[in-house]
A and B are shown apart, each in its own frame.
Chain A
Amino acid sequence: MPSLTEANQAGKGRRNDERELVRRAQREDKEAFEELVRRHQARVFAVAGGILRNKEDVEDIAQQVFLKAYFSLKRFDQRAAFSTWLYKITVNECWDLLRKRKVRPLLYEADLSEEQARQYGASEEREEQAQDVSERLEKKQELERLLECLEERDRMMLVLKEVQGFSVEEIAEILGINGNTVKVRLFRARQRITDRVRRRRAAGV
Chain B
Amino acid sequence: MSDRPGKFECERFLEALETTRPDRGAEATAEALLGHVNEPVRSHAGACPDCQAAVEEMAVTRRELARLSEDGVEPGAWFTTRVMGAIRAKENEIEERKNGVWISVRRLAPRLVAFCAVLLVLGGTWALEVRKAEEARQAAEMRPAESVFESGPSAPLNDDVLSISHQEPGQ
Among B71, B75, B90, the residue within 8 A (CB) of A42 is: B75
Among A46, A70, A146, A186, the residue within 8 A (CB) of B87 is: A70
Given A41-B79, A58-B73: A194 and B67 interface contact (C-beta under 8 Å) = no
List A contacts of B64 (CB < 8 A).
143, 146, 193, 197
The segment from B14-22, B100-108, B134-142 found at the interface with A is: B14-22
Report whether A34 and B84 are in contact in the complex, using a CB–CB cutoff of 8 Å.
Answer: yes
Report whether A194 and B56 are in contact in the complex, using a CB–CB cutoff of 8 Å.
Answer: yes
List B contacts of A187 (CB < 8 A).
14, 54
How far is A140 from B57 in the complex, measured between Cα atoms in Å?
Answer: 20
List B contacts of A190 (CB < 8 A).
54, 57-58, 60-61
Report whether A41 and B84 are in contact in the complex, using a CB–CB cutoff of 8 Å.
Answer: no
User: Is the C-beta of A185 less than 8 angstroms from some C-beta in chain B?
Assistant: no
Q: Name A168's closest neighbour in chain B (CB-CB).
A: B18
User: Is the C-beta of A55 less than 8 angstroms from some C-beta in chain B?
Assistant: yes
List B contacts of A23 (CB < 8 A).
none
Given A30-B84, A42-B75, A63-B83: A163 and B65 interface contact (C-beta under 8 Å) = yes
Shortest C-beta distance, B75 to chain A (Å), equals 4
User: Is the C-beta of A20 less than 8 angstroms from some C-beta in chain B?
Assistant: no
Report whether A55 and B73 are in contact in the complex, using a CB–CB cutoff of 8 Å.
Answer: yes
How far is A183 from B84 in the complex, measured between Cα atoms in Å?
Answer: 38
Size band of the interface chain A makes with B: 35 or more
List A contacts of B46 (CB < 8 A).
none
Report whether A162 and B62 are in contact in the complex, using a CB–CB cutoff of 8 Å.
Answer: yes
Report whether A67 and B22 are in contact in the complex, using a CB–CB cutoff of 8 Å.
Answer: no
User: Is the C-beta of A50 less than 8 angstroms from some C-beta in chain B?
Assistant: yes
User: Is the C-beta of B160 less than 8 angstroms from some C-beta in chain A?
Assistant: no
List A contacts of B84 (CB < 8 A).
30, 33-34, 37
User: Is the C-beta of B68 less than 8 angstroms from some C-beta in chain A?
Assistant: yes
Report whether A108 and B75 are in contact in the complex, using a CB–CB cutoff of 8 Å.
Answer: no
How far is A189 from B60 in the complex, measured between Cα atoms in Å?
Answer: 12
Report whether B67 and A140 are in contact in the complex, using a CB–CB cutoff of 8 Å.
Answer: yes
List B contacts of A107 (CB < 8 A).
68
How far is A17 from B115 in the complex, measured between Cα atoms in Å?
Answer: 59
List B contacts of A45 (CB < 8 A).
72-75
Report whether B86 and A108 are in contact in the complex, using a CB–CB cutoff of 8 Å.
Answer: no
Size band of the interface chain B makes with A: 20 to 34
Report whether B80 and A37 are in contact in the complex, using a CB–CB cutoff of 8 Å.
Answer: yes
Q: Which of B19, B54, B74 has the most CB of A within 10 A?
A: B74
Given A63-B82, A162-B61, A193-B57: A143 and B72 interface contact (C-beta under 8 Å) = no
Report whether B57 and A194 are in contact in the complex, using a CB–CB cutoff of 8 Å.
Answer: yes
Among A34, A37, A49, A139, the residue within 8 A (CB) of B67 is: A139
How far is A45 from B79 in the complex, measured between Cα atoms in Å?
Answer: 11
User: Is the C-beta of B69 less than 8 angstroms from some C-beta in chain A?
Assistant: yes
List B contacts of A174 (CB < 8 A).
none
User: Is the C-beta of A165 less than 8 angstroms from some C-beta in chain B?
Assistant: yes
Q: Name A188's closest neighbour in chain B (CB-CB).
A: B57
Report whether B60 and A183 are in contact in the complex, using a CB–CB cutoff of 8 Å.
Answer: no
Among B18, B56, B60, B90, the residue within 8 A (CB) of A71 is: B90
User: Is the C-beta of A102 less than 8 angstroms from some C-beta in chain B?
Assistant: no
Report whether B72 and A49 are in contact in the complex, using a CB–CB cutoff of 8 Å.
Answer: yes
List B contacts of A108 (CB < 8 A).
68, 71-73
How far is A110 from B71 in the complex, measured between Cα atoms in Å?
Answer: 8
- Return 18 A-B CB contacts under 8 Å, by A number: A30-B87, A34-B84, A38-B80, A41-B79, A46-B73, A49-B68, A49-B72, A49-B73, A59-B75, A59-B79, A67-B90, A71-B90, A107-B68, A143-B68, A162-B22, A162-B62, A167-B19, A197-B60
